[in-house]
Amino acid sequence: MALLPGHINNFETLKRAFRDGNVALVECKDATTGEYRAVICAMEHGNGEYEMKPFGHLCNANPYFEYVPPLGEAEKD
């Protein structure tokens, strides 16, 4: 699967949030499993209110065991 344009746009937004200090690590409950997760959120604020924009979560286990690196062109089906 190639990276989608929306993924790239979200990543750029997340980079800006980190650069500007508008990012937070928030404990959230997974809507599907009920498991608590550490979620990376960009934060928007105005008029004394904050809105979080979740972008992803941190792995609870060792991420080196949870993901397979991208395959080289010769290895793809």
Can you give the residue ranges of every domain in the chain?
Answer: 22-67
pLDDT at 50: 87
Ordered DSSP codes for the chain:
-PPPHHHHHHHHHHHHHHHHT-EEEEEEE-TTT--EEEEEEEEEEETTEEEEEEEEE--SS-HHHH--PPPPGGG--
Which residue, chain included where needed, has tokens 């904050």?
50
pLDDT at 46: 82
Work out the number of other CB atoms within 10 angstroms of the CB of residue 41: 21
pLDDT at 68: 86
pLDDT at 19: 96
Average confidence (pLDDT) per 10 residues, the chain, 77 residues: 90 94 95 95 88 91 86 62
**Is the separation of the CB atoms in 28 and 36 below 8 Å?**
yes
